[in-house]
Amino acid sequence: MSTATTITDPDAITPAATQADAAPGVTETVQLANGLSCDVPADSPLAKLLHSQRTWIGPDAKARLKILRAAKSVAIVGASPNPARSSYFVGTYLQQSSDYTVYFVNPNADTILGEKAYPDLASLPEVPDIVVVFRRGSDIPAVIDDVVASGAPTIWVQLGIWNQDAAEYGESKGLTVVMDRCIKIEHARFNGGLHLLGFDTGQITARKTIR
């Protein structure tokens, strides 16, 4: 007896939970990104390692650029009024270096960066084009439900936050899902503020270029 697993990104490893030990003698057909496949014992360390890999990829660079260029409004869920938090820094950047209308969502704050803070997505005066999320990975499925209910088409989960099951769940609900990427870095890189490798060039510009 065998099962099939497709590994689309064999170099990206994340400490995800492994499957329970399989019954002895059960093999698993592993298909690699280069098109080759092989059978491995399902209860072997190699099979468990392959299961721990990230197999969800999300939109590529051109697709992310298209998302950013098409958007007019961005809502930041988990926005903080604390200047030491990354959400504050990202909010500052989007206010100052983009043409987006930026909404801040935090039920425990009245204002953030001089703007009204909203308790939830349903309270926003319009449906945002992108919902940027600064929440724990375990919170993402609930946020996805809120994004779907709001009618927003895209959820953008910030750098360092990963929940593969949530990403697949979001796509099953019709959302465009970007995960473990910083919208500030992506916007700046696409618009000339960052070198392709991510180094700050010192430029803040609205030029629509991609390198």
Domain ranges for the chain: 2-51, 61-190
* DSSP-derived 3-state class of residue 105: strand
Of residues 168 and 204, the one with the higher pLDDT is 168
* DSSP-derived 3-state class of residue 8: coil
In this predicted structure, what is the pLDDT of residue 198? Answer: 42
pLDDT band at 42 (very low <50, low <70, confident <90, very high): confident
Fold of 61-190: Rossmann fold (3.40.50)
Average pLDDT, the chain: 81
| CA 14 to chain CA mean position, Å | 15
Of residues 198 and 138, the one with the higher pLDDT is 138
Q: What letter represents residue 150's amino acid?
A: S
C-alpha pair distances (Å), 63 with each of 43, 70, 75, 146? 38, 11, 20, 23
Of residues 80 and 34, the one with the higher pLDDT is 80
Q: What does the pLDDT look like over 117-143, one tens digit per residue?
A: 999 999 999 999 999 999 999 999 999
CA–CA dist 113, 109 (Å, integer): 11
* pTM to 2 decimal places: 0.70
Rg of the chain over Cα atoms, rounded to whole angstroms, equals: 20
Helix residue ranges per DSSP H, the chain: 45-51, 61-70, 86-97, 140-150, 164-172, 183-190
C-alpha pair distances (Å), 134 with each of 78, 81, 127, 129, 163? 5, 13, 18, 17, 13
- Region 21-48: what's the mean pLDDT? 65
CA–CA dist 182, 156 (Å, integer): 8
| CA 141 to chain CA mean position, Å | 12
Please name the residues in contact with 94: beta carbons below 8 A apart, sequence gap of 6 or more.
Answer: 74, 76, 100, 102, 183, 184, 187
